[in-house]
């Protein structure tokens, strides 16, 4: 009957729309998977893509196109030059910036994590003005390398069981990340990469000749003697005094 034919046509149209929606959803998932793979590959080889990919937007954590990290031009410039350090093209890099410009987040948290992911058998030492602050950096790096986004970028990376203290992380390949305050001991630890982040805390410490001398002595006679292998050094400072270690 005519009514039956209309019902059959409506069912056919409904089924067609359903199939089209399923096909569109499948295409969407494929595109998302391809985009995610591209971003992961970029994050594995480029520093700024790594920072952005491993900083998901908390309001849309599954949206790989969004990031909580807002990079300015100086961040992009730093990322480019740090890639040259990682390749060994720059052996000794000094960066000075005012407070709150993102140097610690980039160079003492994100970079050790990225470098260790790329070189899990290498040794990294991060030094700061005191042990508590250095250990806090270590905790943040530990959180970073355990995050889902990081594991997507470096799926084979892992910390050795029982060796993930805040001030000493050991990788599955025998590499280490050591976090030490000014004046602390580094005996027994080597550094393929040595990162010096604000050995002098602020203007009050910088005004003390004794503290400036202590910082210089520890830097030259302890930290710098730990260098080995790739022999890379990054110094990042907010300069409070002309007579600082830089």
- Enumerate residue ranges in the chain where pLDDT < 70: 1-2, 8, 21-34
Q: What pLDDT does 7 receive?
A: 73
Q: pLDDT tens, 208-237?
A: 999 999 999 999 999 999 999 999 999 999
Distance in angstroms (rounded) separating the CA atoms of residues 129 and 131: 7
Q: Is the C-alpha dihedral spanning 31, 32, 37, 39 positive or negative? A: positive
Please report, for residues 132, 138, 174, the alpha-carbon distance to residue 168 in angstroms, rounded to integers and kept in the order given: 13, 7, 12
Q: What pLDDT does 25 receive?
A: 67
> HSE on the CB side for 40, CA within 13 Å?
14
Torsion (CA) 144, 145, 151, 157 in degrees, nearest 10: 170
Three-state secondary-structure class, residue 8: helix
pTM of this prediction? 0.85
Q: pLDDT tens, 11-36?
A: 777 777 777 766 666 556 665 566 88
Which residue, chain included where needed, has tokens 């005012």? 98
């Amino acid at each position: 009957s005519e009514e039956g034919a209309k019902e059959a046509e409506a069912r056919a149209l409904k089924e067609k729309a359903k199939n089209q929606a399923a096909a569109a959803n499948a295409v969407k998932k494929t595109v998302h998977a391809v985009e995610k793979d591209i971003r992961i590959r970029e994050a594995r080889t480029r520093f700024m893509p790594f920072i952005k990919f491993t900083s998901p937007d908390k309001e849309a954590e599954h949206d790989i196109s969004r990031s909580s990290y807002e990079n300015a031009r100086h961040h992009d410039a730093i990322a480019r030059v740090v890639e040259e350090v990682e390749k060994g093209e720059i052996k000794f890099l000094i960066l000075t910036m005012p407070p709150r410009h993102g140097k610690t987040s980039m160079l003492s948290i994100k970079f050790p994590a990225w470098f260790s992911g790329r070189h899990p058998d290498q040794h990294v030492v991060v030094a700061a003005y005191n042990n508590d602050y250095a250990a806090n950096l270590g905790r943040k790096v530990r959180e970073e390398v355990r995050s889902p986004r990081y594991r997507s970028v470096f799926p084979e990376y892992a910390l050795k069981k029982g060796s993930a203290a805040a001030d000493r992380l050991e990788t599955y390949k025998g590499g280490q990340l050591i976090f030490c305050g000014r004046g602390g001991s580094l005996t027994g630890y080597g550094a393929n990469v040595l990162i010096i982040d604000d050995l002098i805390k602020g203007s009050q410490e910088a005004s003390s000749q004794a503290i400036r001398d202590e910082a210089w002595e520890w830097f030259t006679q302890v930290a710098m003697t730990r260098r080995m292998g790739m022999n890379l050094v990054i110094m990042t400072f907010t300069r409070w005094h002309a007579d600082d270690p830089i």
